[in-house]
Amino acid sequence: MRTVLDQMNSEVIIPSRPSRIISLVPSQTELLFDLGLDAEVIGVTDYCVHPTEKVHRKRRVGGTKKYRLDVIRELQPDLIVGNKEENERESLLQLAESHSVWISDVRTLGDALAMIRQVGELVGREDPAHRIAGEIEAAFSELLPLARPLRVGYFIWHEPYMVVGEDTFIHEMLSCCGFANGFAGIDRGRYPKVTLEQIRAARLEAIFLSSEPFPFRDEHRRALAAELPELDVYLVDGEMFSWFGSRLRLAVVYFQRLQREIQPPRGGSTSHDRV
């Protein structure tokens, strides 16, 4: 056994090479499989969807907030991998009473790269982890921000509308692309609720409707564009903006395509399918 620190700076006692791993975070589940841990991953959440051909063969332990504790006990994991934001603190503390729980805390690209490398060290896959992190780092070094920052609102929920504020990983990805977060700095939490009046007051130039956690569709885009005809409204891939594991290798190509579509910004309502 050995003692390691997680990204919350908490000590976690784990085997030298964990062989029974449960992941409570979809983006970290994908990372574990990309590190070659097909047999070692024994449990995933209901929201773990990548890689499709592998996750469907694993036991489901519940959502990212509420878990099936009986299933987790039955699986007898020697490592549970969670995340500060995606998992509830009380649930993680309850799991930690009887299991080894390693928690990530990812708000910046640097945090994500560190998490990937640390998880690789946790599970004895240092080389592939450093390779994946290096590929992501190299890709983002090629990502040029927009020549002129575009002020956008990134929406994650409907009825009520909820948007992304500051101190979030999505905010970091927006900044990397040269999108100025129109709801940064407002004192209503990291994911504030907003009204149509507050959206108008934010002086946005465009709106991004994410595919997750709320699955915005074209009907929502058209309805919001009708309410705010002065703004362009886009459907965007939430995985590219919020998944902080190995999926980041795909993000830069997606961001570059999105940049090309919306620059220069156009006035008036437009029709945008999911980018």
Residue spans per domain, the chain: 2-140, 150-262
pLDDT at res. 80: 98
pLDDT digits (tens, 9 = 90+) for 9-61: 999 999 999 999 999 999 999 999 999 999 999 999 999 999 999 999 999 99
Tell me: pLDDT of 183 over 90.
Answer: yes
pLDDT at res. 268: 42
Q: In whole angstroms, give the CA distance from residue 95 to residue 89.
A: 10
* Phi, psi (deg, nearest 5) at residue 127: -65, -50
What's the predicted TM-score (pTM) here? 0.93
> What mean pLDDT is reported for the chain?
94
Altogether, the residues listed in the chain come to a count of 275
Q: In whole angstroms, give the CA distance from residue 23 to residue 226.
A: 41
* 213: preceding bond cis by omega (within 30 degrees): yes
- Phi/psi-derived region of residue 156, left when phi > 0, alpha when psi is between -120 and 50, beta in every other case: alpha
On whether the CB atoms of residues 100 and 10 are closer than 8 A, the answer is no
What three-state secondary structure class fits 68? coil
Q: In whole angstroms, give the CA distance from residue 23 to residue 31.
A: 10
- Whether 150-262 and 2-140 are alike in CATH topology: the answer is yes
pLDDT at res. 274: 57
Distances (CA, A) of 245 to 36, 112, 159, 207, 249: 14, 7, 29, 25, 9
Q: Percent of the chain, pLDDT > 90? A: 92
2-140 CATH: 3.40.50.1980
Which class does domain 150-262 fall in?
Answer: alpha beta
